[in-house]
Each structure stands twice: as C-alpha cells, then as structure tokens.
Amino acid sequence: DAGITQSPRYKITETGRQVTLMCHQTWSHSYMFWYRQDLGHGLRLIYYSAAADITDKGEVPDGYVVSRSKTENFPLTLESATRSQTSVYFCASSERVGILNYGYTFGSGTRLTVV
C-alpha cells in the first residue's frame, strides 16, 4: 500500500555517534517535514522541504542535518547524537494548492534512544 514509511522504528545509539533516520513517501508530495515529539513540548518542527533540493530550518534544527536529492526521500541525520535528542521522530508529507494546505500524512515514527 502506498504511504509514508519511516525506518527504523526503534533505534538505540550511543552519545557521539552519527545516526540517520529514513523517510520515504510514494505520493510524490512536494512538502516533507521532520518533527520530534516529546512530553510537554508537543510536536516541534526540525526541518522541512518544499521540493527536491530545497530545505529549510524549523523550530529546533541544531544538531540535525537533512537532504532531499529525490522527491520521495527525506533522511534526517544526527551528526553527533546527544541524550537530549532522545525522542520520537515523525516524518510527514503534504501537498498544497494555493493557500489551502491539504494536511499532513505522518509516518509511524522512529523512537530513538541515545545512551
């Protein structure tokens, strides 16, 4: 079934290691987003992309890197993981016409633990 797929679902990594979270969507949606979800903070935008090769920072971008060489993929890399980056990470995609936002479709999330 077409959709948005995140991998891995669970990841444990050590402080200082580089880790990449993968996100793949099959609709050719223009927009893709990375959020982290933490208790007490809700969903916070890390990075987003309006199209291939176009990315921009969100609310909490420090310590993260993204790329979007293909429309369908939007990987998120933690360059040197810290314990404060322990969180649940969600990727989302959306299409948009004019000012009307058709809403996000979210992946199932990656639960990342940094020890």
Smallest separation, CB 40 to other proteins (Å): 8
CA dihedral for 28, 31, 34, 39, sign (positive or negative): negative
Q: Which is nearer to other proteins, 107 or 114 (CB)?
A: 107
Q: Which is nearer to other proteins, 54 or 79 (CB)?
A: 54
Spatial CB neighbours of 72, under 8 Å, sequence gap ≥ 6: 24, 25, 26, 28
| Cα–Cα separations (whole angstroms), residue 74 to 2, 84, 98 | 16, 22, 23
Residue 86 exposed, middle or buried by CB count within 10 Å (0-12, 13-18, 19+): middle
Instruction: Decide if residue 20 touches other proteins (CB under 8 A).
Output: no
Instruction: Decide if residue 50 touches other proteins (CB under 8 A).
Output: yes
Exactly one of 48, 66, 68, 74 binds other proteins (CB under 8 A); which one?
Answer: 48
Q: Which residues bind other proteins (CB under 8 A)?
A: 30-31, 33, 35, 40-43, 45, 48, 50, 58, 90, 92, 94, 96, 99-109
